[in-house]
Each structure stands twice: as structure tokens, then as C-alpha cells.
Amino acid sequence: MTVIYKHGKHVYKLLHLFLLFLSEDALKAFQTNISLLALGRELIIDPNWVQKVQAGKEKDIVTELDKNKQEERVTPTPLWNAIISAPGWFPGV
């Protein structure tokens, strides 16, 4: 999904939804000329996503949510319940 904002002669791509599990995915997203990447889902699934990419440990990135790790993920219960109640929103659910 892409959200485009037009203001006069200017056109801005504000949002394009990607699943950014690997650093290559993030690079591809940036190549679409977006100015911001949101890593919310990715950071809930693997809170160490950024550190793993920085350390060159992309192979260690967790790409599916483990439904038994709410406390470890420090995800508030209302958000956690919404996530596990919506199949397809997060991989692994």
C-alpha cells in the first residue's frame, strides 16, 4: 500500500508498507525514494533487529512472532491480544 500526498507541483510518497525482515528488504524499501522506514512489526518480532543488522548478523533475525514470548517482548497485553487475534498481521500468527 502506498500513500501519496500532492501539494501543488510537489508529490510526496508518505507510506509504503513492506515487510522488512532482512537488511536487504530495508535497502530495497529505501530505493523506492521513501524518506522513513517504520520497523514496528519487525521490532516487536525481534527487538534486536537493528543491532543484528549493524553487526552483520542478518541470518539471526527472527522473522516470525513466537506467541509464547509476550513477556520477553515486553508488549502490552491489549496490543498483544490484538496481534494474536488478527491472523496475517504478523508472520507466525
**Could you tell me what percent of the chain has a pLDDT over 70?**
80
Rounded to an integer, the average pLDDT of 42-54 is 90
| Pairwise pLDDT comparison (24 vs 51), residue with the higher score | 51
**Residue 9 C-alpha from the chain's centroid:** 31
3-state secondary structure of 59: helix
For the segment 61-85, the average pLDDT, to the nearest whole number, is: 91
Give the pLDDT confidence score for residue 16 in this predicted structure: 54
Model confidence at 19, in pLDDT bands (50, 70, 90)?
low
Expressed in percent and rounded to 5, the helix, strand and coil fractions of the chain are 40, 15, 45
Higher per-residue confidence, 77 vs 22: 77
More confident residue, 38 or 4: 38
Mean pLDDT for 11-31 is: 69
Long-range contact pairs involving 47-55 (C-beta distance under 8 Å, separation at least 24): 47/73, 47/74, 53/23, 53/26
- The pTM of the full predicted model, rounded to 2 decimals, is 0.70
Separation CA 40–CA 30 (nearest Å): 16
- Give the integer Cα–Cα distance in Å for 65 and 41: 9
**Type of residue found at 64:** E
